[in-house]
């Protein structure tokens, strides 16, 4: 194994159309106690990466290697590692570590831990030849999926799955998806496997076309009203102006789950029109490890088939710009092997 690795490094926040990531040769990291070193095969790109790179999230660490949908094989282990073995194929997701002792961690809500560490934000992520993760946060990847198919499951898939759960949707009901990027194109496959009718509102025709291919019962523009009242809805687009129409599309007692880590300003809500009737507005915050394990198991059983577009590691800036412009149908993935 070489002592150096390629990495795409962010030195300072900037718009992605300025190509803010730079290729660097850096030392291969050393796994600490309880950690594993992963030889990265692929890393998915995500809208959260855009928020980190462009400074829409609070600055935590600079310089930083982004990336939190990482798939690869274990190339080394630190002291105290119990079950992971070199050669195991694993994934690294957004949630990298928690304190394990706070009220949230003790009650099965580790996604809310105030001391949580996130990949590609607090610690270096997967836009590199190697990455390090705690053994307990390395997800075994089902053999059903290729590396490229597995990558978007590790954030787009997990967050979409948690959002479906928090939306309260039940098998056979009607659910609306607002925005149809990487996460929504996986969520629709799960919802369809539950026998749900899925109504999609999306800004871009390429995304609406993919929604139709994946079995949407109805597809419209981002501000269009679905033809029937929805039992639940998920807002994937980072557009606060979509909250009022999405709430109004719900039937009484319905829930709108906000699946993004960042959202533009929400306009004033009209209580009678938007919330009355026990409609619920709730956010989705990261995920627990159990969410990840459950999603991977169910995705393999269905099986989910993510639609991906591949880019070389050195093309990360172009890939992120394509994501910003909405020209990727499905999920973008950086390939390193």
Q: pLDDT, tens digit, for every residue of 296-333?
A: 999 999 999 999 999 999 999 999 999 999 999 899 99
Amino acid 1: pLDDT: 73
Q: Is position 321 within any domain? A: yes
The two tokens of residue 40 are 């990265």
Position with higher pLDDT, 233 vs 337: 233
Q: What angle separates helix 182-193 from helix 289-301, to the nearest 10 degrees?
A: 60
Tell me if 113 is assigned to some domain.
yes
Q: CB count, 10 Å around CB of 232?
A: 26
**What DSSP line would sit under 173-231, residue for residue?**
-EEEEES-SHHHHHHHHHHHHTT-EEEEE-S-HHHHHHHHHTT-SEEE-TTPPPSS-EE
Which of 288, 249, 323 lies closest to 104, judged by CA?
288
The residue from 283, 298, 321 where one domain ends is: 283
Same domain? For 50 and 110 the reply is yes
Q: Are residues 38 and 126 in the same domain?
A: yes
In this structure, the answer to whether residues 12 and 138 fall within a common structural domain is yes
Q: CA torsion 63→68→73→75, rounded to 10°?
A: 30
Domain match, 262 and 315 both: no
Q: How far is CA 244 from the centre of its chain?
A: 24
Phi, psi of 62 (to 5 degrees): -140, 140
- Regarding whether 13 and 142 lie in a shared domain, the answer is yes
Identify whether 294 is part of a domain: no
Is 269 among the domain residues? yes
Q: What is the CATH number of the domain that holds 321?
A: 3.90.180.10
Residue 228 pLDDT class (50, 70, 90 cuts)? very high
Q: What is the pLDDT of residue 2?
A: 81
**Mean pLDDT across 285-291:** 96
Instruction: Give burial (CB, 10 Å; 0-12/13-18/19+) of 285.
Output: middle
Determine the pLDDT at residue 129. 98
Q: pLDDT of 199-227, one tens digit each?
A: 999 999 999 999 999 999 999 999 999 99
Q: Among the three residues 246, 267, 283, which one is the final residue of a domain in this structure? A: 283
Are 259 and 205 contained in the same domain?
A: yes
Average pLDDT of the segment spanning 126-149 = 97
Would you say residue 46 has pLDDT above 90?
A: yes
180 and 236 Cβ atoms separated by less than 8 Å: yes
- What is the rounded CA–CA span in Å between residue 333 and residue 230? 33
Q: What own/partner pairs with CB < 8 Å and gap ≥ 24 does 20-27 have?
A: 20/53, 20/317, 21/53, 21/66, 21/127, 21/316, 21/317, 21/320, 23/313, 23/314, 26/128, 27/3
Q: What is the pLDDT of residues 21-40, one digit of tens each?
A: 999 999 999 999 999 999 99
Are 8 and 52 within one domain? yes
pLDDT at residue 124 in the model: 98
Terminal C-alpha separation, the chain: 14
Residues 71 and 29 both lie in one domain: yes
Residues 10 and 115 in one domain: yes
Question: Cis peptide before 63, with omega less than 30 degrees from 0?
Answer: yes
Say yes or no: 30 and 165 in one domain.
no
The two tokens of residue 237 are 């687009």
Amino acid 325: pLDDT = 94
DSSP 145: S
Q: Is residue 297 part of a domain?
A: no
The predicted model gives 125-144 an average pLDDT of 97
Give CA–CA dist 76/90, Å, rounded.
13
β-pairing, 70-77 vs 89-92, is antiparallel
Inside any domain, residue 300: no
- Whether the predicted pLDDT of 337 surpasses 80: no
Quote the number of domains for the chain. 2
What integer pLDDT is reported at residue 69 of this predicted model? 98
Asked if residue 170 belongs to a domain, the reply is: yes
Asked if residue 125 and residue 9 are part of one domain, the reply reads: yes
Boundaries of domain holding 150: 4-154+307-335
Identify the pLDDT of residue 293: 97
Q: Which pLDDT score is estimated for 193?
A: 98
pLDDT in tens, 53-85: 999 999 999 999 999 999 999 999 999 999 999
The pLDDT of residue 81? 96
Residue 288 placed within a domain: no
Q: Are residues 320 and 218 in the same domain?
A: no
């Amino acid at each position: 194994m070489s002592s150096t690795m390629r990495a795409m490094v962010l030195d300072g926040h900037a718009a992605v159309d300025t190509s803010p990531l730079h290729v660097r040769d850096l030392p291969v990291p050393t796994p600490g106690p309880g950690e594993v070193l992963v030889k990265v095969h692929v890393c998915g790109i995500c809208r959260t990466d855009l928020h980190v790179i462009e400074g829409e999230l609070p600055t935590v660490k600079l310089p930083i290697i982004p990336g939190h949908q990482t798939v690869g094989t274990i190339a080394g282990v630190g002291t105290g590692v119990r079950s992971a073995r070199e050669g195991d194929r694993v994934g690294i997701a957004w949630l990298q570590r928690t304190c394990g002792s706070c009220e949230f961690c003790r009650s099965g809500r580790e996604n809310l831990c105030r001391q949580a560490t996130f990949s590609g934000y607090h610690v270096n992520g997967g836009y590199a030849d190697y990455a390090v993760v705690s053994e307990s946060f390395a997800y075994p990847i089902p053999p059903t999926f290729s590396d490229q198919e597995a990558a978007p499951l590790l954030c787009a898939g997990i967050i979409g799955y948690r959002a479906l759960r928090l939306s309260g949707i039940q098998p056979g009901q009607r659910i609306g998806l607002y925005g149809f990027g990487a996460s929504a194109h996986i969520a629709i496959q799960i919802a369809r496997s539950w026998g749900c009718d899925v109504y999609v509102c999306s800004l871009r025709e390429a995304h609406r076309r993919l929604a139709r291919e994946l079995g949407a019962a109805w597809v419209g523009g981002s501000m269009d009203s679905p033809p029937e009242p929805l039992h639940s809805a998920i807002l994937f687009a980072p557009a606060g102006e979509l909250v009022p129409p999405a709430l109004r599309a719900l039937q009484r007692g319905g829930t709108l789950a906000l699946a993004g880590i960042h959202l533009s300003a929400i306009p004033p809500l009209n209580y009678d029109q938007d919330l009355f009737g026990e409609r619920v507005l709730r956010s989705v915050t990261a995920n627990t490890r159990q969410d990840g394990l459950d999603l991977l198991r169910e995705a393999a059983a269905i099986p989910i088939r993510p639609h991906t577009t591949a880019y070389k590691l050195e093309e990360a800036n172009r890939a992120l710009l394509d994501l910003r412009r909405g020209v990727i149908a499905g999920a973008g993935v950086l390939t390193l092997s």
